[in-house]
Structure 1
């Protein structure tokens, strides 16, 4: 998609639920997922350095036991946060730039978390060479469809796509958000600009 360069849809699963601003300032990333143009996905699991909250585990199925990350009881391969971020930047570089990152609730959570860890590892300047900004599809959906009762992503997917999916898996969330945005909503450039926080 070439409206503003390339739009890459992404999502984070973390040690907290992201329902409080404090979560965004202190939680650790346990999964980073992305999707672009229905062709290529990105997925990394990260072993967190703090416990995963019980409420988060109930939602995303991720637990830690004896230094190993498990998804619904099955061990998953993890990569350090630093190398996951480096790989993510490398993934983003592969698309025609500039890249616009899109997430549902980006401004209040995903963007804050991602920017915090990029700065922590001194990767923000490298990231900024590739990414032009963050688009938040949550307020976008409220503007486009104010008549809806709810605006959480699983509800929107049921409304517009008529399916249930593996919600709260970062890759699946990114893929379904891309499907909503590209094949159902199709917002114009003005809408995209209105709900983009430029870096």
Structure 2
């Protein structure tokens, strides 16, 4: 699932041109790496309700990624923090995500340093031939990073994990669980923006 700049421009133009009122849904994605051929592992989203979905990768999970995300693939099953989790293939997971988003009618997906996650989601949506359905509900993406840099100036790090520790005073997790990351981002934004 390689990055396609044409897909990105379509969704950024929706953000500019879309005239409908939109609901903000905070989201985060975990992937099998940072390269263009990485796959989605988990999507988490939080609006007035929550969504979390694990996606079984076609190409496996590198050990380094498993160390960071605590997600492992063993004998056709996904494990998160040592516990088996229900997972689907990418098409099933993305269709479930789109169905969740439809409950809001039209949304802006808001993430922290969102560019990578947006590219990964768009590439997966395109690969699974669900781009039209996704575009019918997602007006675009918004990035909290530049906004939070303005309201919290002078910070050494604006990484979301550092914001969670220092702003929310939550030291219980190090991030890399997309549902928890989306929920924490919503808390930070509601506090400062």
SS in structure 2 of the partner of residue 168 of structure 1? coil
Unaligned stretches of 5+ in structure 1? 187-199
Q: TM-score, normalised by structure 2?
A: 0.84
Query: 1:103 aligned to 2:111?
Result: yes
Q: In the comparison of the two structures, how many residue pairs are matched?
A: 173
Query: 1:171 aligned to 2:179?
Result: yes
Question: CA–CA distance in 1 between the matches of 2:150 and 2:65?
Answer: 29
Matching of residues 155-194 of structure 1 within 5 Å: 155-166=162-173, 167-182=175-190, 184-186=191-193
Q: TM-score, normalised by structure 1?
A: 0.82
- Contact 2:22–2:139 (8 Å) recurs in 1: no
SS in structure 2 of the partner of residue 10 of structure 1? strand
In the other structure, the counterpart of 2:15 is none
Instruction: Please report how far the alpha carbon of residue 43 of structure 1 lies from its aligned counterpart in structure 2 after TM superposition.
Output: 0.9
In the other structure, the counterpart of 1:28 is 39
Matching of residues 86-97 of structure 1 within 5 Å: 86-95=95-104, 97=105
Unaligned stretches of 5+ in structure 2? 1-20
- Contact 1:165–1:172 (8 Å) recurs in 2: no
In the other structure, the counterpart of 1:63 is 72
Two-structure CA RMSD over aligned residues (Å): 1.6
In the other structure, the counterpart of 1:190 is none
In the other structure, the counterpart of 1:122 is 129
Matching of residues 31-50 of structure 1 within 5 Å: 31-37=42-48, 40-50=49-59
- Deviation >6 Å, runs of 4+: none
- Contact 1:35–1:178 (8 Å) recurs in 2: yes
Aligned match for 2:91, one of 79, 82, 105 = 82
Q: Deviations over 1:80-131 (max 9, x none)?
A: 2101111111111101x42000111211x10000000111111111111111
In the other structure, the counterpart of 1:8 is 25
- Contact 1:68–1:75 (8 Å) recurs in 2: yes
- Contact 2:90–2:128 (8 Å) recurs in 1: no
In the other structure, the counterpart of 1:192 is none
